[in-house]
């Protein structure tokens, strides 16, 4: 007689097999109804016998509705980006560089470049144990629970021969059909639309509710295997092995020995990709031999053994029906062209950005013009020009507006800026909402609320400015749509925790025009308190390192506004940090005053971000590129050869992390 445990294990095996055939092979073995019956039986048995819980059970793919924060994890192997090429000539240059460097025969593997969000999957003893986003390439967010909901990613591997521990990388994607349905649903509910499937997939993967992630029907394509005991010494064969273990490896991958074969692959897919169910934006070429990959090595940012060929942006001709104007967080007004819908790169394009008044003038646009539309980088539609040969019976010439489309305040354009903006920052609705969204963001106050939540609270009369966040309690929001006691409690707790955010981040969170993260840090540590900053004049402000007249004037203007002063008073009354802590002042040194650093490579003792903070804390300055003004390069493993060569040429001193730590004691 079959025991409960045996029946549970049998159902898990059967459902895993059916998932594999349905989502990876696209050859279902049973009907959806039969599958659902088996799944329901397994769910019931697991509920009755929690002692047999398994995080990799097929039932876990539906996702729990438990909210979770994302811890960060350092990648075992850095996730570098690829160098881009845009012509067959540049591909030929890459081929010749590889041939010259290797000086021996080699093969190239050609793959489609999927336009999704990068993911790293770690397996141990045949089971998924961790899923990490690309992040900054050195470390990323751990999103394992969300990834478990993606049916094409195996929770347990099939067959044999896989290493005890390995990593496989690829893209998480949202198919076009799912993307279109999702945007239709959001449009019906009055929610902002996703710009493209990549943004939709990335945003979905970062949701706090795995049950919602499961409902979004994400897919995956995997393309690179890493580990100490891989089954083969070439990339192509490793992918074939991964396919036999149950991974969704694209059938489009090919292996070639000649440049002409590579060009044929590129030309074929430049046309055929439009028939694919997911977004692609190019071709990736990789040297097949892992030994040859190791010999070719890496630059600071990308491998020398791989390159991406980007498809040329597709363009189409359509009619300009009207132009509307949108107001952003800082008051910047952006003109948007409303178009006769046209199919472009797999999506139906209805709108395109016109950027600013100068662009409108240069295009000489008239309502009713036939215009050429292109997707820059396959994502953001823009108007390239007008077919004036088709201009007849057109409407008025498009003019940039003089008044804010929302609050009717006269627009302002600074002499050295391209954009117009609305100066009514305290009473213009899009600016109010935008400022609140900025205030709660992760790098600012890190409050558990996104754009949809801000919109909901604003419409419910709970929010008129950022100080109102601190007056919202659980009773105010528990009755709203999509809110329960737990989510309400989490929100209120994140608001409470934001009172501990340090002054420099609070200053950034205020959203003062032109004051970014770096400027906020400089100002906070130069003036120490909000009172000192509020009373500073332009002359005093520009004496602060990296603060120019534009930022200084913006700061003075902000604090001269009585409503902003009242807002600061309310936030102070709530206990927000408006002074640099004594500990932070004590830790601040001048050991690196006047010294400029470039950080390159991968480090063992601290992350790159942590080293950047140490440099700033000790009076130094971070920059991204080596120049004659650079004093030191803080170098870890895999330091970029280009930076090294330039440093040697300019006489810039290269130091390791131990030397740096000794410098700051």
How would residue 190 be classed by pLDDT, with cut points 50, 70 and 90? low
Say yes or no: 547 and 602 in one domain. Answer: no
Tell me whether residue 67 is in a domain: no
Residue 189: per-residue pLDDT: 62
| Average pLDDT value for residue range 529-539 | 93
Condensed to tens digits (0 to 9), the pLDDT of residues 543-587 reads 887 788 888 999 999 999 999 999 999 999 999 999 988 887 777
pLDDT at 376 over 80: no
Judge whether residue 169 has pLDDT over 80: yes
Q: Dihedral angle at the C-alpha atoms of 373, 374, 375, 380, nearest 10 degrees? A: -50
Domain boundary at 500, 523, 552, which? 500
The band of 25, judged by pLDDT with boundaries at 50, 70 and 90, is low
Most confident of 207-211, 467-471, 478-482: 467-471
pLDDT of residue 504: 92
Looking at the fold, whether 596 and 619 belong to one and the same domain comes out as yes
**DSSP bridge pairs for 472:** none
Residue 310 is a catalytic residue: no
Report helix, strand or coil for 191. coil
* CA-only gyration radius of the chain, Å: 28
Decide if pLDDT at 312 tops 90.
no
pLDDT at 64: 42
DSSP code, position 327? E
- Helix (H), strand (E) at residue 650: helix 641-650
Does any domain span residue 525? yes
Is 77 among the domain residues? no
In angstroms, rounded to a whole number, what is the distance separating the alpha carbons of residues 284 and 304? Answer: 13
Q: What is the pLDDT of residues 408-467, one digit of tens each?
A: 999 999 877 788 999 998 889 999 999 999 999 888 999 988 888 999 999 999 999 999
Domain that holds residue 151: 84-306
Q: Are residues 162 and 242 in the same domain?
A: yes
Q: Domain check: are 528 and 495 in the same one?
A: no
Is residue 446 domain-shared with residue 511, that is, in the same domain?
no
239 and 122 together in one domain: yes
Mean confidence (pLDDT) of the chain: 87
Paired residues of 124 in beta bridges: 127, 165
The pLDDT of 51-65, averaged and rounded, is: 69
In residues, how long is the chain? 665
Q: For residue 361, what is the domain's CATH number?
A: 2.40.50.140
Of the candidates 5, 47, 113, 402, the residue annotated as catalytic is 113
Q: Does residue 74 form part of some domain? A: no
8 A C-beta contact, residue 544 and residue 522: yes
Residue 322 falls inside a structural domain: yes
Residue 388 and residue 296 share a domain: no
Q: Which of 221-235, 297-311, 498-512 has the lowest mean pLDDT?
A: 297-311
Same domain, 473 and 573: no
Look at residue 27 in the predicted model and tell me its pLDDT: 64
Let me know whether 336 and 470 are in one domain.
no
Q: CB of 404 within 8 A of CB of 431?
A: no
- In this prediction, residue 49 has a pLDDT band, given cuts at 50, 70 and 90, of confident
Q: Which two tokens stand for residue 7?
A: 């029946």
Per-residue pLDDT, averaged over 510-528, amounts to 88
- How open is the CA angle 82-85-91, to the nearest 5 degrees? 105
Per the model's pLDDT, the better-predicted residue between 629 and 289 turns out to be: 289
Helices (H), 75-206: 88-102, 144-147, 176-188, 197-205
Domain closes at, from 454, 484, 500: 500
Q: Which of 556, 585, 614 is the last residue of a domain?
A: 585
- 58 lies in the same domain as 139: no
pLDDT tens track for 337-367: 999 998 876 677 888 888 889 889 989 999 9
Q: Are strands 596-600 and 621-622 parallel, antiparallel or unpaired?
A: parallel
Q: Which domain CATH number covers 580?
A: 1.10.150.20
Q: Is 457 a domain residue?
A: yes
Q: Return the CATH number at 52.
A: 1.10.287.610
pLDDT of residue 172: 94
Domain count of the chain? Answer: 6
Per-residue b or e along 538-577, where b marks 16 or more CB atoms closer than 10 Å to that residue's CB: eebbbebeebeeebbbbbeebbeeeebeebbeebeeeebb
| Cα 333 to the center of its chain, rounded Å | 24
User: Residue 180 and residue 176: Cα distance in Å, rounded?
Assistant: 6
pLDDT band for position 315 (cuts 50, 70, 90): confident
pLDDT at residue 3, as a whole number: 86
Residue 588: Cβ within 10 Å count: 15
> For strand 332-344 and strand 347-353, is the pairing parallel, antiparallel, or unpaired?
antiparallel
Give me the pLDDT at residue 529, please.
Answer: 93
Answer with the residue of higher pLDDT: 25 or 244.
Answer: 244
Task: State the chain's maximal CA–CA distance in angstroms.
Answer: 87
The CATH number covering residue 258 comes to 3.30.470.30
Residue 64: phi and psi, rounded to 5, are -85, 155
657: domain CATH number is 3.40.50.10190
Strand partners, 73: 140
Say what the pLDDT of residue 187 is. 65
- Spell out a b/e string for 60-86, using b for 16 or more CB atoms within 10 Å of the CB, else e: bbbbeeeeeebeebebeebbbebeebe
User: Where does the pLDDT of residue 51 fall: very low under 50, low under 70, confident under 90, or very high at 90 and above?
Assistant: confident
Q: Are residues 300 and 327 in the same domain?
A: no
* Same-domain pairing of 253 and 107: yes
Burial letters for 302-318: b for 16+ Cβ neighbours within 10 Å, e otherwise?
Answer: bbbbbbbbbbebebbeb
Looking at residue 168, the DSSP 8-state letter turns out to be E
- 483 in a structural domain: yes
* Max avg pLDDT among 25-29, 145-149, 199-203, 391-395: 145-149
Residue 200 lies in a domain: yes
Instruction: Give per-residue burial for 328-353: e unless 16+ CB within 10 Å, then b.
Output: ebbbbbebbbebeebebbbbebbebb
């Amino acid at each position: 007689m079959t025991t409960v445990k045996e029946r549970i294990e049998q159902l898990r095996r059967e459902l895993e097999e059916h998932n594999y055939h349905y989502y990876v092979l696209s050859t279902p073995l049973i009907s959806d109804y039969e599958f659902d019956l088996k799944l329901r039986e397994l769910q019931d048995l697991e509920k009755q016998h929690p002692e047999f819980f398994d995080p990799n059970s097929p039932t876990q793919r539906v996702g729990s509705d438990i909210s979770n924060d994302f811890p960060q994890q350092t990648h075992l192997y850095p996730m570098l980006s690829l160098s881009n090429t845009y012509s067959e000539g540049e591909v030929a240059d890459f081929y010749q560089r590889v041939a010259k460097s290797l000086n021996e025969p080699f093969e190239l593997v050609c793959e489609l470049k999927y336009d999704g969000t990068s993911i790293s999957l770690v397996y141990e003893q045949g089971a998924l144990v961790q899923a990490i986003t690309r992040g900054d390439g050195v470390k990323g967010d751990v999103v394992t629970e969300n990834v478990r909901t993606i049916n094409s990613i195996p929770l347990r591997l099939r067959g044999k021969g896989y290493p005890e521990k390995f990593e496989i990388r690829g893209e998480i994607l949202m198919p076009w059909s799912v993307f279109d349905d999702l945007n239709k649903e959001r449009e019906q509910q009055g929610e902002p639309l996703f710009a493209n499937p990549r943004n939709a997939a990335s945003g979905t993967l970062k949701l706090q509710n795995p049950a919602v992630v499961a409902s979004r029907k994400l897919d995956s394509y995997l393309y690179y295997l890493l580990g100490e005991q891989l089954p083969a010494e070439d990339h192509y064969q490793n992918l074939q092995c991964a396919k036999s273990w149950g991974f969704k490896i694209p059938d489009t991958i090919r292996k070639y020995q000649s440049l002409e074969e590579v060009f044929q692959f590129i030309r074929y897919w430049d046309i055929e990709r439009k028939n694919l169910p997911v977004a692609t934006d190019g071709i990736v070429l990789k040297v097949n031999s892992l030994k040859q990959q190791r010999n070719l090595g890496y630059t600071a940012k990308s491998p020398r053994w791989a390159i991406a060929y980007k498809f040329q942006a597709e363009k189409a001709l359509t009619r300009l029906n009207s132009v509307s104007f949108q107001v952003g967080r800082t008051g910047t007004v952006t003109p948007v062209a409303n178009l006769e819908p046209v199919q472009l790169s797999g999506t139906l394009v209805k709108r395109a950005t016109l950027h600013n008044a100068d662009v409108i003038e240069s295009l000489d646009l008239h309502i009713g013009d036939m215009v050429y539309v292109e997707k820059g980088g396959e994502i953001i539609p823009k108007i390239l020009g007008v077919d004036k040969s088709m201009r007849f019976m057109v409407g008025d010439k498009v003019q940039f507006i003089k008044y804010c489309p929302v609050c009717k305040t006269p627009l302002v354009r600074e002499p050295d800026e391209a954009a117009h903006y609305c100066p009514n920052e305290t009473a213009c609705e899009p600016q109010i909402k935008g400022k609140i969204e900025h205030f709660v963001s992760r790098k600012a106050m890190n409050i558990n609320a996104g754009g949809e939540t801000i919109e909901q609270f604003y419409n419910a009369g709970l929010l008129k400015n950022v100080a109102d966040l601190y007056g919202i309690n659980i009773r105010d929001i528990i009755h709203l749509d999509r809110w329960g006691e737990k989510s309400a409690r989490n929100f209120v707790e994140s608001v409470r925790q934001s009172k501990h955010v340090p002054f420099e981040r609070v200053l950034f969170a205020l959203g003062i025009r032109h004051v970014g993260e770096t400027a906020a840090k400089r100002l906070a540590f130069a003036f120490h308190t909000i009172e000192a900053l509020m009373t500073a004049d332009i002359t005093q402000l520009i004496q602060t390192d990296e603060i120019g007249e534009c930022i200084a004037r913006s700061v003075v203007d902000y604090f001269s506004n009585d409503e902003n002063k009242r807002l600061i008073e309310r936030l102070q009354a709530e206990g927000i940090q408006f002074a640099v802590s004594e500990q932070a002042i004590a830790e601040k040194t001048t050991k690196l005053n006047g010294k400029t650093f470039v950080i390159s490579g991968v480090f063992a003792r601290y992350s790159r971000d942590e080293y950047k903070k140490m440099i700033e804390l000790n009076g130094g300055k971070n920059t991204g590129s080596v120049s004659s003004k650079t004093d030191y390069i803080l170098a870890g493993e895999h330091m970029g050869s280009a930076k090294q060569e330039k440093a040697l040429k300019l006489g810039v001193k290269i130091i390791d992390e131990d030397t740096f730590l000794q410098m700051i004691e």
